[in-house]
Amino acid sequence: MGHRCASTTREGPPPAAPWYDRPVSRRAVTTAGLVAPLAALLAGCGSTGATGPRTLRVLDTYTNDPDRTIIGGALAAAAAEVGVTLERVSVAGDSLIQRVLQQGSSGTLPDILMLDNPDLQQIASTTALRPFDALGIPTDGYTDGVTAAGTYEGRVYGLAPTVNTVALFYDVPALEAAGIEPPTTWSALREAAAALTRGDRYGIAFCGNATYEGTWQYLPFFWSNGADERDIASPEAAGALDLLAGLVRQGHASTSVLNWSQADVKDQFVAGRAAMMVNGPWQIPELSGVEGLEYDVVTLPTRDPATQAAVAPLGGEVWTVPATGDRAKERLAAQVLTRFLADDSILSMAEQRFTVPGRHALTDAFLERRPEMAAFADLLGDARARTAQLGPDWPATATALYTAVQLALSGQVSAADALREAGEYA
């Protein structure tokens, strides 16, 4: 019986028959059985909303180390300066929005919330977030991409301390053995992929799966070739898609790219089954730990570098203050985020996580500490936010884009037809 342990150290003269020595009736047992879970349930419900006035609840998706510890450290430092304690919960990335919706409908949103940047405008459009100007969080100095991703209807609702994008990773010895330079044009990329395909090893690996990851990896080619997400059935978009489809068609990339996530792509590269890969800097900590792997990173090639600049899609997580209705706590949360987004805090996170600061002014200091990140820092200066043009309507187009990628890479239809067909989904 759970309640027996309660009063064994009672003081004073013991009563003749303490309650716990009295015979337990069947009704008492039944009542306890019914009441205990109910009480536990109510207590559980209460605890989510009832934290102390100087305790803030934080929700993010950094479930794995090293990110979990690095972000946790930066949050803890900011909280210590403001003089609050944090109650932090990290959930898996793909369940974050569902969690936020649950909390929104039950009025239990956290005081500080992390969101993936393409989701911000959609969530902001629901009135769930507080604008930064009303809270006094500084919004100056961020790159255009970060500001665009964090802005909804002219007001900033979230900002990213550090950002990332994708680039071309390559196996240095493999390219040396084949006597080729890292490709800078699409035709050089095709030739390099062909020359590097040998036995078990494909020339290149990338992610073309049926999720937003597939869209994300197609975007740099799509944008650098001059395509626009407001009209995806364009010759420019088809040219970019045909580059990827051609790599699979010629057998220089595996047909499995249709199923691979970006993590799978990294595994293929590490296992030596791909000589080049499209991936992001968040893989660097793991790649650096692989013995005998010698790799380097360059900007993704463009079709014609003389007239086209590489365009990086902006990746990264933005931090927001949900509208919980508790004005005092919203102010405290704003103070914590202000501190969290200060120069030294951003630089420390950027250095440890191999991500690039979201503010221009910090780039030089960052490159002093992480010179190997030069390729990414260059790209991210004018990285493009996925939601810059379409705002909350982006998910529909993102779905159409990965559908087109899947249709074209599986060889069902030509790249142009794939985009036209997929456009019907948007």
Partner 1 sequence: MTSTLAPVRTRPRPASASPRRRPGAARARQRRLVAALFLGPAVVYLLLFYGYPVVQNVVMGFQHYTISTFFTGQAPWAGLDNYREVVGSPLFRTALLNTVVFTVGSIAGQFALGLGIALFFRRRFPLSGFLRSLILLPWLIPLIAASAVWKWLLDTESGAINRVLVGTGLVDTGVPWLSSTSLALVTVIAVNVWIGIPFNAVILHGGLQGIPDELYEAGALDGATGRRAFRHITWPMLRPVVTVVLVLGVVYTLKVLDIILGLTGGGPANATQTLATQSYQLSFATFDFGQGAAVSNILIVISLVFAAVYLRLNRRAVDE
Residue numbers of the site for partner 1 (CB under 8 A)?
23-26, 97-98, 101-102, 104-105, 122-123, 125-128, 200, 209-211, 254-259, 271, 273, 395-396, 399, 403, 406-407, 409-412, 421, 424-425
**Number of helical H runs and strand E runs in the chain:** 18, 13
**Cβ-based nearer residue to partner 1, 39 or 271:** 271
83 vs 118: CA distance, rounded Å: 32
Q: How far is the CB of 48 from partner 1 (least distance, A)?
A: 16
Q: How far is the CB of 144 from partner 1 (least distance, A)?
A: 26
175 vs 394: CA distance, rounded Å: 38
**Cβ-based nearer residue to partner 1, 70 or 407:** 407
Residue 386 CA, chain-centre distance (Å), reads: 13
Q: 């605890």: which residue's tokens?
A: 47
**Cβ-based nearer residue to partner 1, 73 or 104:** 104
Look at residues 160, 164, 88 and name the one whose alpha carbon lies nearest to residue 120.
160
390 vs 405: CA distance, rounded Å: 20
Q: How far is the CB of 175 from partner 1 (least distance, A)?
A: 21
Q: How far is the CB of 405 from partner 1 (least distance, A)?
A: 9
Q: How far is the CB of 410 from partner 1 (least distance, A)?
A: 4
Look at residues 345, 317, 369, 334 and name the one whose alpha carbon lies nearest to residue 74.
345
Residue 188 CA, chain-centre distance (Å), reads: 31
Q: How far is the CB of 171 from partner 1 (least distance, A)?
A: 17
Both tokens of 269, joined, read 């590269």
**Cβ-based nearer residue to partner 1, 22 or 140:** 22
177 vs 58: CA distance, rounded Å: 50
- In the chain, the amino acid numbered 78 is A
389 vs 228: CA distance, rounded Å: 9
**Cβ-based nearer residue to partner 1, 213 or 317:** 213
Residue 272 CA, chain-centre distance (Å), reads: 26
